[in-house]
Structure 1
């Protein structure tokens, strides 16, 4: 990694949670879930919720951005309250946007896509799928074990990550892990975050 990438890696959490309120247990609130995760040590969240009306999604991002110590990343759409932007694999590098977000990353599905993202200025990438995932049944197959190591930017393993295999992703060379369903579906999401953090340390 170059010096700028090493500087980012020093700040990028080893665990990032992606939101999907449709997977929450009945009567559980997304904001309360993320606050519970933050209390357990979560450092960053990617806000998806692409089906929300624009005003409702902006309000959600702004509310989460007020949680002390939480780095809030907006998925696909620049948001003035977010600290960062995470693009889909097909999206081009972002133009400058208003607000405090300056760093961006991209979802990738191969080593070549990660290399392209790095060349275009991405500060991190997710790389998927790591394993079979309940959130996207039939999505795969899992990438080979050598897909995770020796990239120019920090790479977070995504897809099918659990407390049982997160350490294996780190051992394969991933900088950290990005998790959605395992946390979103949990009755006690803070406990899952605690277990994941222990696995990726």
Structure 2
């Protein structure tokens, strides 16, 4: 074992301290994911609203559904029980992902649905034919540019929250709860 002279140890300690205070390089920032808190508190969508959302998008065999901010997984789980779809729930909260996976197992659909711990603003959902949301108006609006880049005809449904200037094509009131529907237009 090499023992550093006192002067060199001090310089090494100072260099490490300065490096820790310096801003990360752009390359490092892009490769190391930044942990952050969820954007919204978890509030589950009632079962009757889940059913109405899946009815509104006319879920069918072959659809690729992404639930952005999937919470306990109830929408993707309901989707795979209803039709032969590829359903993925995305949530940033590891507790919600664990709960969703446990719910899928308990409901016998463990191998038919996927749950990913990821950031809904950076994850890839470009193959979606259906997107479900229960976020906030501001978050829906932040997602809107990405949603509008999805293939034309992709169906989007949101529980309770709209998309600013993008007016919904359909709305429904389910026991006092609003559901909004859009279709990605042709470019």
TM score, norm. by length of structure 1: 0.31
TM score, norm. by length of structure 2: 0.33
